[in-house]
Amino acid sequence: MPAPGVDPAKVRDIHDREMKKFVDARPRTMGLLERARAHMPNGVPMAWMTIDQDIPVYVDRGEGAGFTDVDGHRYLDVNVSDMVMFCGYGNPEVASAIAERARSGTQFLLPTIEAVEVAEELARRYPVPFWQFTLSASQANVEAIRIARAATGREVALLFDGHYHGHFDEGLINLEDGRLVPVQRGLAKATTGKVRIAQFNDLDGLRRALEPRDVAIVLTEPALTNNVHLLLPQPGWHEALRALTREAGTVLAIDETHTCVVGPGGATRRFGLQPDIITIGKSIAGGVPLGAYGLSEPLARELDVRREQGGTATGGTLFGNPLSMAAARAALTRVLTPAAYEHTAALGARLADGIDTAIRAARLPWTAQRFGPRSGHWYGPEPKTGLQALARRDRLLTVTQRLWMANRGVWEALPGAGPTIAVPAQAGDVDRYLDAYSSFLRAVAT
């Protein structure tokens, strides 16, 4: 649906003009793209890299809060690789930990001391004592669901409308016009039968969804950050979610993969949550692949390999490998310090204030978002449920904004997400973002 306050025809014109400008300024990119298309579908190693735009940016190198493309354009990166690069590019602590591990063995299929220290650090931050590791947050969520199924003997995973928890079967089922449907092709039809979707912040709906007592797990972000831009919990929501899941014998898992950037202990600590499982990934290893999940003591027993009936289906040869764990130890203990969270939250507030000012100056009926180092806007008032948030998306406008920002040296967040301030960013970077953002609002406002 077109966002209020803008004329879609004008946005289309701006999009086409900015696209031409983008292409004209990137001759090396265009040459690489042509070459890459001969051996990689869409010219990229992973299909999503062209999901928002046919022409990807081929990156040369990253440094601090930004990166440079093969044509020499420097970008301030507020997408932070969809939260993975919150520590910044080429962070010296992470880089030297990786180099040291590369010289002393990156894989043994045996634990190293870094794993012990990373588990200790995560247990200090989050209210669950036992930790396991994968290579991505998606895989952490897969294992969380399996453990909940093993523990409860039930099959259904309950998610909230507008969710995104990764690229696994149950996580790719959405609600459309009240029906459960796979969002992409390639899933088994039976997958929809193992998923239920309720509305975030809707207590009655949640109660109804749990009532059949067949739900193994509720998996949710503490505040939804993906397809819905940002959906914050209403007062009392999390307390009720905890009480109702307990009452229904359902495992409660909180996915901190994105929200962990709001502080040590993420939004779980900020909101005072008491889940049975925490899942996490992306930024915890400073840009090296790693996923993790923390378990309550009773759930940790599901992983006891001495059980007679065989263990729960988890694990992979490279999961929790020493390279990932060395990077995570450096990121968690030397980069993601309390001071780093304070710095990024202060800059996030500056960003939200600036977005608010720009929206008002352009007389748009939009609302600025505030969530630690992350901001952005809603095309209207703050939504309360995923259904409301999804109805307010405007893909052409967000894609045009990305292009506009790229042409002015800012790599904007993915459509659906908001800009995030990384640890190495400074006030001048926020102001640079705001200059480009304000000029975009002036250009599109009717």
Ligand X SMILES: Cc1ncc(COP(=O)(O)O)c(C=O)c1O
**Contact positions vs ligand X (CB under 6 A):** 82, 136-138, 141, 164-167, 221, 226, 255, 257-258, 281-282
Tell the smallest beta-carbon distance from residue 225 to ligand X (Å). Answer: 6
Angle between helices 8-24 and 427-444 (to 10 degrees): 130
Which amino acid type is present at position 334?
Answer: R
Closest by CA position to 232, among listed 76, 59, 378, 34: 378
**Least distance from C-beta 237 to ligand X, angstroms?**
17
Residue 278: exposure state from Cβ atoms within 10 A (0-12, 13-18, ≥19): buried
Quote the CA–CA distance of 171 and 219 in Å, as a whole number.
10
- CB-nearer residue toward ligand X: 281 or 320: 281
Angle at alpha carbon of residue 88, lines to 36 and 357, rounded to 5°: 100
CB atoms under 10 Å from CB of 316, counted, come to 12
- Least Å from the CB of residue 267 to ligand X: 11
- Which CB atom, from 6 or from 147, has the smaller least distance to ligand X? 147
Among residues 218 and 359, whose Cβ is nearest to ligand X? 218
CA dist., res. 275 & res. 296, Å (int)? 8
Q: Shortest distance, CB of residue 279 to ligand X, whole angstroms?
A: 7
Residues in the chain: 446
**Amino acid letter for position 154:** R
Judged by beta carbon, residue 87 or residue 436, the one nearer ligand X is: 87
| Rounded distance between C-alpha atoms, residue 419 and residue 83, angstroms | 10
Q: Min. distance of Cβ 356 from ligand X in angstroms?
A: 25
Nearer to ligand X, 18 or 221 (CB): 221
Q: Give least dist CB 82 to ligand X, A.
A: 5
Q: How far is the CB of 163 from ligand X (least distance, A)?
A: 8
DSSP string, 297-330: HHHHGGG-TT-TT---S---TTTT-HHHHHHHHH
- Three-state secondary-structure class, residue 108: coil
Q: DSSP H helical segments within 77-222, as ranges? A: 92-104, 113-125, 137-152, 203-210
Nearer to ligand X, 142 or 156 (CB): 142
Q: State the minimum distance, in angstroms, from the CB of residue 19 to ligand X.
A: 26
What is the DSSP pairing of strand 66-69 with strand 74-77?
Answer: antiparallel
Instruction: Please tell me the distance from the alpha carbon of residue 225 to that of residue 9, in angstroms, as a whole number.
Output: 29
Least spacing, CB of residue 259 vs ligand X, in Å = 8
Residue with smaller CB distance to ligand X, 171 or 354: 171
Report residue 113 as tokens. 């001391």
Q: Considering just the CA atoms, what is the radius of gyration of the chain in Å?
A: 22
Q: Which CB atom, from 171 or from 380, has the smaller least distance to ligand X?
A: 171
The structure tokens listed for 149 are 């199924």
Which CB sits closer to ligand X, 29 or 79? 79
- In this structure, which amino acid lies at residue 56? P
